[in-house]
Amino acid sequence: MPLVNNAIYIDGKRAVKPESLDQTYEELRRCPDSGHSFCWIGLLNPSEEEIRSVAAEFDLHHLAVEDAIDAHQRPKLERYDDTLFVVLRPARYVDPVEVVEVGEVHLFLGRDFVVALRHAQEPDLTQVRSRLEENPELLKLGPFAVLYTVLDQVVDDYGPVLDGLQKDVDEIEVQVFDGDPGASRRIYQLSREVIEFQRAVDPLTELLDNLRDVLKGRAGEADLELRRMLRDVADHHARVVERTDGFRQLLTNILTVNAALVAQRQNEEMTRLTEASYQQNEQVKRISAVAAILFAPTLIAGIYGMNFTHMPEIDWALGYPFAVMLMLMLSLGLYLTFKFRNWL
């Protein structure tokens, strides 16, 4: 059964804890119509049939019901006569895999009921309920007190997400300046998580504005106190928005710096390769020059070493000195030529 928690509150205290939805409906009808009693139904991953059962009992608008069934809604507040439909996107940061997990909570608020539909295990609204039950004066404010407390918890839970993102951004900065080749991929992945988080956070600004407008139409002292508390939530939310925007801009700047550093390292590597290639070419030229110088006397010596019978220079008295001088002159000529061309 998706029924997680279910209770009827009278004058800020838990009066009845029904075991089923049908019992909740019956007990709520028996409660005095004093404006100080309401039921709070918590459902986890409810079926369409269960959502429609609640909708039929509390006369919920069909458009809001369809949104609750389909889920995957952006944070918003919609008003249908005397009923409010609120969508919140709580989040938590899973540091080992650097992922922002975003949940979804739907709240229906009426004069004497709150229906909370959760489409994920997080957040656990048990803590919210316990916090309210420990503060009867706040719980006396009715369904809007529940909405305020859930909002406050959702915004407070954004704090650890920001801390996790800050830690990873700091680590990425170190990676970038250390030349870690995996930095670019990590920057891109973290940027996607920041954008996903931003989609959960940013629409709350409009939601809080709309909620304050709703409460402005209520002149009671209790509603004035709720508006004061909501201002505090709005202040916390504004800081979350500012830090999230800062992370996104910082990651964009880091990505730009990383690209510049990668390009600089590539240019340095190309320069080193060019210098190495130049030095290699210089060595090849020197080796080629020495080989050419040695080749000339070797060629002459090879010719005169063929020992053919009819060779004019064999019987010539100056044949040997001539051959040696020819070798020296050719070698010297090649040496001077290569020296002039800076090959040696």
User: Residue 255 domain-assigned?
Assistant: yes
Q: How far apart are CA 301 and CA 313, in angstroms?
A: 13
Instruction: Dump pLDDT digits (tens) for 93-146.
Output: 888 888 999 999 999 999 889 999 988 776 778 888 888 888 888 888 889 999
The answer to whether residue 268 sits within a structural domain is no
- pLDDT tier for residue 193 given thresholds of 50, 70 and 90: very high
Instruction: Evaluate whether residue 133 is within a structural domain.
Output: yes
Question: Does residue 334 form part of some domain?
Answer: yes
Residue 63 lies in a domain: yes
Instruction: Look at residue 207 and tell me whether its pLDDT is greater than 70.
Output: yes
Residue 179: left (phi > 0), alpha (psi -120 to 50), or beta?
A: left
Q: Which of 229, 263, 297 is the last residue of a domain?
A: 263
Q: Which two tokens stand for residue 286?
A: 């020197």
Note whether residue 328 is domain-resident: yes
Same domain, yes or no: 218 and 199: yes
CATH number at residue 150: 3.30.460.20
Give how many domains the chain has, as a whole number.
2
- Do 21 and 155 fall into the same domain? yes
Are the CB atoms for 77 and 85 separated by under 8 Å? yes
pLDDT in tens, 141-157: 889 999 999 999 999 99
84 and 156 share one domain = yes
Beta strands in 45-94 (DSSP E): 76-80, 83-88, 91-94
Same-domain status, 229 and 300: no
Considering 232, 263, 294, which residue would you say is the last residue of a domain? 263
Residues 6+ apart with CB under 8 A from 286: 343, 344
Contact between 90 and 122 (Cβ < 8 Å): yes
Domain assignment of residue 46, given as a range: 3-263
CATH number for the domain that contains residue 321:
1.20.58.340
Confirm whether 208 is domain-assigned.
yes
Identify whether the C-beta of residue 46 lies closer than 8 Å to the C-beta of residue 67: no
What is the DSSP code (8-state) at residue 31?
S
Last residue of a domain, one of 233, 263, 293: 263
Answer whether residue 20 shows pLDDT above 60: yes
Quick one: 175 and 117 in the same domain?
yes
Strands 37-44 and 113-118: parallel
Helix (H) or strand (E) holding 63: helix 62-70
pTM of the full structure:
0.75
Rg (CA), the chain: 42
Residues 234 and 116 in one domain: yes
Distance, CA of 47 to CA of 155 (rounded, Å): 28
Burial call 7-36: b when 16+ CB within 10 Å, e when fewer: bbbeebeeebebeebeebbebbeebeeeee
Alpha-carbon distance of 208 to 288, in angstroms, equals: 82
Q: Are residues 152 and 178 in the same domain?
A: yes
C-alpha 64/C-alpha 67 separation (Å) is 5
pLDDT above 90 covers what percent of the chain? 30
269, part of any domain: no
Q: Are residues 215 and 239 in the same domain?
A: yes
Does one domain contain both 283 and 246? no
How long is the chain?
344
The confidence band for 221, taking pLDDT boundaries of 50, 70 and 90, is: low
| Residues 99 and 9 reside in one and the same domain | yes
Kindly state whether residues 18 and 71 are assigned to the same domain: yes
Residues 251 and 336 reside in one and the same domain: no
Average pLDDT over residues 6-26: 84
